[in-house]
Amino acid sequence: MFSLAKLSPTVTDMIRFDHSHVFVTFHQFTQDKSPTVKKALSDTICAALEIHATLEEEIFYPVMQTIDPGDSALEKAPHEHADMKRLIRELRTIPGTDDLHDRVLLELMREVIHHVADEETVLLPAAERKLSKERLIELGVAMNKRRIELLAPQAGKVAISHAVGFSGSTAAWVLGAAGAIGAMLAFSAAGRKTAVQL
């Protein structure tokens, strides 16, 4: 019998992919971009980070706390998420035409880089040492399902920001297709959920 779970990436691979997506998006951000493109890129980064943080807080961190309690990287992760969320809230209020927009985005990315370094050198390797492959895939499936739920209400907005932010970029072809697929999955899942509720 075919199982979608067999195709799912592990939770640790999904977290690494999220990190890469944010960095690829940030690398599109240059001073010569128009305010509209800068704002679209920052909106894409903010949406990705908010969903990513929620997934880690709901799925990954609770499991890590049971297998690695007291780990310093794990203990400071929620505080780092809080700092990032504060900067995201601030960034969302600043127009792309304001110089402050660029400064706040750069501050946010400094926070992200520091946070990602801890996760990728401490937390993810620990998870891969202490959890079975089956458990890592199971958590990956749970993370995928929850991501679709979180993305569904904002899929259209995310797709538009992504398209504007990556306009004229060769990466837009790859990431745009991925975004479109994600949006279709989100809408499809939302439709199934509505149909079931009716």
- Are the beta carbons of 143 and 9 closer than 8 angstroms? no
Dig out the tokens for 50 from the structure: 């908010």
Tell me the whole-structure pTM to 2 decimals: 0.77
Nearest CA among 97, 166, 140 for reference residue 11: 140
pLDDT for the residue 156: 60
pLDDT for the residue 186: 42
Over residues 103-157, the pLDDT tens digits come to: 999 999 999 999 999 999 999 999 999 999 999 999 999 999 999 999 887 666 6
Residue range 150-165: mean pLDDT, rounded: 64
Dig out the tokens for 91 from the structure: 């960034």
- The kind and range of the H/E element at 176 are helix 170-197
Domain ranges of the chain: 7-197
Percent of the chain at pLDDT exceeding 70: 74
* pLDDT exceeds cutoff 50 at 171: no
**Residue at 57: amino acid letter:** E
- Write down the mean pLDDT value for the chain: 82
Q: Rounded to whole angstroms, what are the CA distances from 190 to 130, 163, 177, 184, 185?
A: 35, 22, 20, 10, 8
